[in-house]
Structure 1
């Protein structure tokens, strides 16, 4: 049952990331179970986990609903992310080998390729892998833990941003500048660029949000 619960959770989460379940949408256990061809039990467990992740809210008289992120919600998450990831890259870069930086370059190349092909799901995944790789290389368990608590909300905002082509295109330019800072081993510059990139996404996304 554990594997079924996990796979059902990931499938419902995938529907959120792909924009098939939008903020404000009600999650009907019966309809989701039929759509995913599973019983209602793993659907119920998945929804419970999404409530814990703060992606789903239980609203009186409406039931389980995808959270509609406000401008303040997004700002709070992204300002926190900005500071944590800015610190992470400062800690990570002195620890990174040439092979680690080559891996970052390959992820940037894959981001570019996915964007050129219009595959925003793959683009978002490669972008996420790049950020998570840097955080892992920081070897700071406190930073990793705090970001893990925000991870689903970060992915949700990233998915919203990736649906707006100009945000992804602007991010591609910043990502190459960031890679250059990694390759020249300039942690202060890398941190500055990463924080700017995260803040640019925050501002672009909240500009299109109506509270």
Structure 2
């Protein structure tokens, strides 16, 4: 059992990596992180070990820790795994989401549409993450939520801004709308299919980005 201080440091470091504030391949210096988080080096060290066990950080003897770089091939595999789990979450949300949760999900989607209209693609990407999180929460499936969180944390979002692929934004909004509409009308089959469809297109966009970089 770890201490509350370690648990808190772990969650904060994980959040910093997930948000892109700590970048892939960035060296994680214990003294710097301890000062940033206002904890001891021992707490940071233990948190880094946990992040290493999650596959988010690479720990090298005598060289310290770095944020793990996810390859293009790994990112595709992660999206494929996420597609299965998030399709399950969408299906469950269609059955279990409360009326208030459906309203919240629709409001997030509306905000995403406004971001697209304003040309704020990175803002749209943030809304995208919020929408997926709301659907996962509404599913009330703790195992799926835990596994999805681990997969998402390994693929730091700023590495693969698929929304910047030309023409992708309009398709993305339509795909999310289909997911949300299916959840709202309590159609689990349609919700599951719509989420699979959406993430298959994200995978295709990611492959496009990877080809352009190679």
Say whether the 8 Å CA contact 2:59–2:65 is kept in structure 1: yes
User: Partner residue of 1:79?
Assistant: 80
Number of matched pairs: 205
1:187 aligns with 2:191: no
State the 1:121 CA deviation.
8.0
Map of 1:26-175 to 2, 5 A cutoff? 26-60=27-61, 62-112=63-113, 119=123, 123=127, 125-136=129-140, 144-157=142-155, 159-160=157-158, 163=161, 165-166=163-164, 169=169, 170-175=171-176
State the 1:9 CA deviation.
2.1
Say whether the 8 Å CA contact 2:90–2:179 is kept in structure 1: no
Give the gaps of 5 or more residues in structure 2: none
Say whether the 8 Å CA contact 2:108–2:127 is kept in structure 1: no
Say whether the 8 Å CA contact 1:18–1:121 is kept in structure 2: no
State the 1:199 CA deviation.
2.0
Q: In the aligned structure 1, how far is the partner of 2:208 from the partner of 2:186?
A: 34
Give the gaps of 5 or more residues in structure 1: none
So what's the TM-score if we normalise by structure 2? 0.75
Say whether the 8 Å CA contact 2:17–2:156 is kept in structure 1: no
Give the aligned CA root-mean-square deviation in angstroms: 3.2
